[in-house]
Amino acid sequence: MPVRLLNEKDVRALAPDLPEVAALVEQAYRLEAEGKAEVPTKIGVHPGRGNSLLHAMPAWLGEARALGMKWISYFPDNVERARRAAAAIIVLNDPEHGRPCCIMEGMHVTFLRTAACAAVAAKHLAPRQPRTLGLVGCGGLGHWSLRMMTAVFPSIEQVYVSSRTRRSREAFCAEMSKEVNRKITPVDEPGDAVRAADIVVTSIPPGTGRPVAASALQPGTLLIPLDLVSAWEDEVLALADRIAADNPEDFCTRIKTRRPGALAGLKPPVRVQDVVVGSSPRALPSERTLIAICGIASTDIVVASAIYRRACAENVGMLFDLHG
C-alpha cells in the first residue's frame, strides 16, 4: 500500500472550511466524552535549548475512523535565525490494517484545530453571545483565532488587537480588515484589549512578559490563553471563577512546574469535553472563566483524516512506496 504525501500547499488546498473544522473538533470532543476515543496525554523530549521540545501525539477515534499521530517540534530560538519556531508532521494509519497511509505537513492543521478548539469551547461555555473579541498577540494563532471566532460567532462586531509592537498590530489590523468584515482596532495597552472583550485570546511567545492583568478581566469574560501559562499574571488564576481544560491533568501539571506562584489559585478544571456534551454547565454572566486548550491529538487526527479523504477523492499528493 503506497503512502500519500501531502505538502503544506496540498493541505491548505484540501482543508475543510472553518465551520466544518469546528464541527470536526466538536465531534472529537464529544467522542472522547462518550468514551469512544483513545487520546493519551502527549509525551515528549526536551533538547537542552531554552524551551525547545518535541511531542508525540497519537489518537484513535473509532466512530470517526481516524487513527494516527502528530509529531511536533518547537524551537523558539529559531526565530532569531529567521526560521519557523514550530514544525510538525502528521502520520495517518489505515484503521483496517494499521499500515501508514498518509504523511502530511502538520502545522496548518495545528493552527486550524487550535483555533477551532478555542471557538468550540467558547461556544459551549460563553454566558452570552459575544460581541467583542480581544487578541493579545497577532502571530499565526492570532490570525486563525480571528478567522475562526468570527466564523463561529457571527455576533462578534468589534475586535481589539494588542501586541508587543505598534507596527505588528497595525499591520495585522490592516491585513485582517480586508479579510474579515469586522471593525478591528489596534490598542497600545493589553488591558484595553482585555477589559472591553467578551472573549480574550492570547498567543504570545514564552518569556515576553505577562500582559494580562487580573484587574482587566471583567465578569462574564472568557480568557483563552493559547500560550497556556505565558500571558497572565498569577492573580488571574485566583480571580477566575471557573477553569476549563481539554486535558485538566496536563494543565495542572504545567501550573505546578511552570507557574508555581499561581498554584494557590488553581481550582479543579472541568473538562471541555464534558461541557460540549452538556454534563457540565456553561459559565454564568457573573463568572470569569479561563479555558486552557492544551492541545489533544484527537482534534489533529480528525481534521487530518478529513483532509486525507479529500486527497484520495481528488487524487492530490504524491504516492510513495515505503518498501521500494
Q: Residue type at 33?
A: A
Strand segments (E) across the chain: 3-6, 37-38, 43-45, 53-61, 66-74, 86-93, 100-105, 132-136, 158-162, 183-186, 199-202, 222-225, 242-245, 270-271, 289-292, 318-320
Q: How many C-beta atoms surround the C-beta of residue 127 within 10 A?
A: 17
Among 226, 203, 34, smallest CA distance to 122 is for: 226
Residue 152 vs residues 93, 95, 274: alpha-carbon distances, Å: 30, 31, 20
Q: Are 144 and 111 in contact (CB under 8 A)?
A: yes
* Each residue's pLDDT expressed in tens, for the chain with a length of 324 residues: 899 999 999 999 999 999 999 999 999 999 999 999 999 999 999 997 767 899 999 999 999 999 999 999 999 888 778 888 899 999 999 999 999 999 999 999 999 999 999 999 999 999 999 999 999 999 999 999 999 999 999 999 999 999 999 999 999 999 999 999 999 999 999 999 999 899 999 999 887 789 999 999 999 999 999 999 999 999 999 999 999 999 999 999 999 999 999 999 999 999 999 999 999 999 999 999 999 999 999 999 999 999 999 999 999 999 999 988
Residues 209, 184 contacting (CB under 8 angstroms): no
Instruction: Order the strands of the 270-271 sheet from edge to edge.
Output: 183-186, 158-162, 132-136, 199-202, 222-225, 289-292, 242-245, 270-271
Domains in the chain (CATH in brackets) are 3-110+297-320 (3.30.1780.10), 117-292 (3.40.50.720)
